[in-house]
Structure 1
């Protein structure tokens, strides 16, 4: 009977070891499966991140180029505005100069009119 108990114990241990080995293999397979699914998800995310980084880099380069072009256009418009301001100032100077000449001409005209009236009155007194 002891031999039978030893044999049954040996069979039970063998069965437990087999079930433990099966459980270990199942657990290992589950870990591999879980790792593979996480790996696939992480790879997809990493691919997406790299793709987005490349798109951002391209957009950044385009933005730098457009900003540079806008700066150039702004400088050109600034120069144009400065030129227009100078021209307007010159027009103001010319207008001021013309008003001064007009004033001087009016003074000369009035002086000549007074002189001419005096000549006429002198001529009429002489006659």
Structure 2
């Protein structure tokens, strides 16, 4: 009974932990989605800036060389930032994949523990019935 109680406590803790992890994963997915949208907006802005630069160079071939240089410099900085953000996103995605694999493993272990507990419970019932039968037989023998 003590072992089953301890097992139930551990099982409840695992379930709680899994729910918390699931909640954290959902929150992360929402944050990642927002971050991805932000990165997509920045990418579109970078593409638009590059397009604007090209158009300015065509329209004013010999005029505004200094401005084109500044625009290119800004584009380079944005591209570096975008590259850095993409690398961070990739790293975080890898970390979350590892976390999900750990979560999956914990779920499998939880299933194994649950099956073990059911087996133990069945064994305890069998022993209880056997002891009750022995007790009844001894009572009948004593009363005769």
| TM-score after normalising by structure 2 | 0.54
Give the aligned CA root-mean-square deviation in angstroms: 2.0
Tell me whether 1:50 sits opposite 2:104 in the alignment.
yes
- C-alpha distance in 2, partners of 1:23/1:76? 79
Q: How many residues align?
A: 85
In the other structure, the counterpart of 1:79 is 133
CA deviation digits over 1:8-37, x for unaligned, max 9?
Answer: 971221112111111111111111111011
CA deviation digits over 1:86-122, x for unaligned, max 9?
Answer: 21222xxxxxxxxxxxxxxxxxxxxxxxxxxxxxxxx
In the other structure, the counterpart of 2:28 is none
In the other structure, the counterpart of 1:34 is 88
- C-alpha distance in 2, partners of 1:16/1:88? 106
- C-alpha distance in 2, partners of 1:75/1:60? 23
In the other structure, the counterpart of 1:19 is 73
| TM-score after normalising by structure 1 | 0.61
User: 1:55 deviation in Å?
Assistant: 0.8
Q: 3-state SS of the aligned residue for 2:111?
A: helix
Q: Which runs of 5+ in 2 are unaligned?
A: 1-59
Structure whose CA Rg is larger: 1
In the other structure, the counterpart of 2:8 is none
Q: Which runs of 5+ in 1 are unaligned?
A: 1-5, 91-127
User: 1:71 deviation in Å?
Assistant: 0.7
